[in-house]
Amino acid sequence: FAIHFVRGLQGPSSARYLNTNAGCKHFDVHNGPENIPESRFSFDAHLSEFDWRSTFLPAFHACVNAGSY
């Protein structure tokens, strides 16, 4: 998914200029939920190293490898 998203935003790699810059956010775990304002800064996500390595890290690597700046 990240590869298509980044390339869709930035345009073809052969283009002289980028359409826009894509950025890889949430390297570690996203802290949501944003729909409850009072919990935005107090929510603490706990997950195992296995979950982190198998879920979040591959998505971040895919985004970087897709050419995100």
**pLDDT in the model for residue 50:** 95
Global pTM reads 0.56
Judged against a pLDDT cut of 70, whether residue 61 lies above it is answered with yes
pLDDT tens digits, one per residue of 6-58? 778 877 766 677 777 777 776 667 666 666 666 666 767 788 999 889 988 88
Q: How many CA atoms lie within 13 A of 7 on its CB side?
A: 10
Domain segments of the chain: what residues?
Answer: 1-10+21-31+41-69
Average pLDDT, the chain: 76
